[in-house]
Amino acid sequence: MKVVFCTREYAELSGGHNTWLGRFLPYLHRHGIEPRVLCFPLTADKEFPTVRSLRQAGLSCQTVSEEEAEYTEQRVRWILERVSEDPPDVFVANAVIPAAYYAGRWLREAGIPTVGICHVGGAYPLYKGLLDQFVFGEVSYRVSAFVCVSKHLEQMVNERNPGILVRNIPCGIPIPERIAKTPDGRLRLAYVGRLIEEPKRISETTHALCRTVREIPGTEAVIYGDGPDRAAVEQVLREDGEGLPVYLAGFLENDLIQKRLLECHAVVLLSDHEGLGLSLLEGMASGVVPIALRGAPGVTEFVVDNVTGLLVENRGDSFVAAIRRLREDPALWARLSRSARMKAEAEYSEEKCAERWQEVLKALLHRTGSRKPLRIPRRIHLPPVHPDFVFRDKRVRQLHQRLMRPVKRYMIRMKYQYPSIFSSH
């Protein structure tokens, strides 16, 4: 079976969906499925970590830069052209929203089933647009199957009766042989993820770590990651964390994440909402205690308060109190560490989640009708831009739009040169 996966990556920023792909696709390859990747980085002159790791694993990974495919129509055409070179049995749009999902229209016409994936929480704007356009929208653009990384997301989709195959498959994680060591004198906290305000609340999380380390002797914290709000984190550390053992360690390659987590005792994710919260699961697999907000759906499916981790009410007093409990009660840490690892191994291991993916791929293959030649239209006509995709769906300007631009510039210039003509009386 041949499967094409799409993804995006840029400037040392991968995200959980690429951490997952870097592990999952080699696993599929070892089990008789031939995966191929189409990747959209934002620059042409650099090989990014996910692309590099997939190629090192012997997998095909084709890339296109923003300079080559700036507009959605160009991206759709590039996808169709690459797929036509070696048509797969299944196409997974994954995180390339909306271009890969729009391309699915012509793929399904050729008898190639398509799969969408919901990696984000229900409160994230992209989630609504993804459902509106490609699960419940115009029939020709609906995916053949939709995978949700949490039970919460799956339930929300099924409540609307989508009429397509919907499955909950978390991003599987490897279960290392080693486990984190019992705190010996210092409790080490870690944040692993993108440095971004929404949905991660990274500035507030950094303030919370600084306050905790300041108020609780014998604690320290490290922040692993990079992102658009790195400068905000650096500013918080300068103003609130000066002299404190709170460190910004920067971007981590996928294969180093669990190695670094093994050096810690608690992994922190204080987002308002998450699709899954992969960093928490990676920590749990290593016996690192997860700490999250009580009201964050997705995360609370595996972080059970006082059983497999700790849930807090806020990033203030409640968070500090939870860390104090861990620091002062070694028996509590040991119990939560054991339970966290058992939960990750029993329900979220790489093997178990990959098996569920294989079931979905095989089900789609059996449902597929006769194959037809893939038709690539001379002109790509797409539905109007969905409001939730406005920053990701850059369209080619139509002829009348291109013609009006110099006219508008001319009128503005004339208005400044001859203001009396344009002034109202």
Query: Is 146 found in the same domain as 30?
Result: yes
Query: Is 259 found in the same domain as 220?
Result: yes
- The residue range of the domain holding 249 is 187-347
Query: Is 55 found in the same domain as 164?
Result: yes
Residue 17 within a domain: yes
Query: Is 249 found in the same domain as 143?
Result: no
Residue 376 within a domain: no
Residue 379 within a domain: no
Query: Is 160 found in the same domain as 15?
Result: yes
Taking alpha carbons only, the member of 54, 51, 59 closest to residue 2 is 59
Query: Is 309 found in the same domain as 408?
Result: no
pLDDT of residue 400: 43
Calculate the CA dihedral of residues 398, 67, 391, 115 and round it to 10 degrees. 100
Are 344 and 351 within 8 A, CB to CB?
Answer: no
Residue 22 within a domain: yes
Query: Is 86 found in the same domain as 50?
Result: yes
Q: Show which of 347, 379, 412 is a domain's final residue.
A: 347
Which domain CATH number covers 271?
3.40.50.2000
For 205-261, give the DSSP string. Answer: HHHHHHHHHHHSTTEEEEEE---TTHHHHHHHHHHH-TTSSEEEEE---GGGHHHHH
Alpha-carbon separation of residue 200 from 188, 271, 395 (angstroms): 20, 4, 29
Taking alpha carbons only, the member of 60, 59, 66, 57 closest to residue 8 is 66
Query: Is 361 found in the same domain as 291?
Result: no
Report the distance separating Cα 302 and Cα 290, nearest Å: 10
Residue with tokens 């991660």: 200
Query: Is 110 found in the same domain as 18?
Result: yes
Query: Is 68 found in the same domain as 153?
Result: yes
Residue 178 within a domain: no
User: What DSSP state is assigned to residue 180?
Assistant: P
Residue 317 within a domain: yes
Residue 252 within a domain: yes
Environment class of residue 380 by beta-carbon count within 10 Å: exposed (0-12), middle (13-18) or buried (19+)? buried
pLDDT of residue 404: 47
Radius of gyration for the alpha carbons in the chain, expressed in angstroms and rounded: 24
Query: Is 214 found in the same domain as 152?
Result: no
pLDDT of residue 401: 43
Query: Is 164 found in the same domain as 20?
Result: yes
Looking at the 3D structure of the chain, how many domains does it have?
Answer: 3
Per residue of the chain (425 residues), give pLDDT as tens.
999 999 988 765 556 788 888 889 999 999 999 999 999 886 666 778 888 889 999 999 999 988 889 999 999 999 999 999 999 999 999 989 999 999 999 999 999 999 999 887 656 677 889 999 999 999 999 999 999 998 888 988 999 888 899 999 998 899 999 999 999 889 999 999 989 998 899 999 999 999 999 999 999 999 999 988 999 999 999 999 999 999 999 988 777 888 999 999 999 999 988 878 889 999 999 999 999 999 888 888 999 999 999 999 999 999 999 999 999 999 999 999 999 999 999 999 999 999 999 999 999 998 877 889 999 999 999 999 999 998 889 999 864 444 444 555 555 555 545 555 545 44
Question: Would you say the pTM of this structure is higher than 0.75?
Answer: yes
pLDDT of residue 214: 97
In terms of C-beta distances under 8 Å and separation of at least 24 residues, what long-range contacts does 134-142 make, across chains too?
Answer: 134/93, 134/98, 134/101, 134/104, 135/162, 135/164, 136/160, 136/162, 137/383, 138/383, 140/105, 140/108, 141/101, 141/102, 141/104, 141/105, 141/383
Residue 218 within a domain: yes
pLDDT of residue 227: 87
pLDDT of residue 276: 83
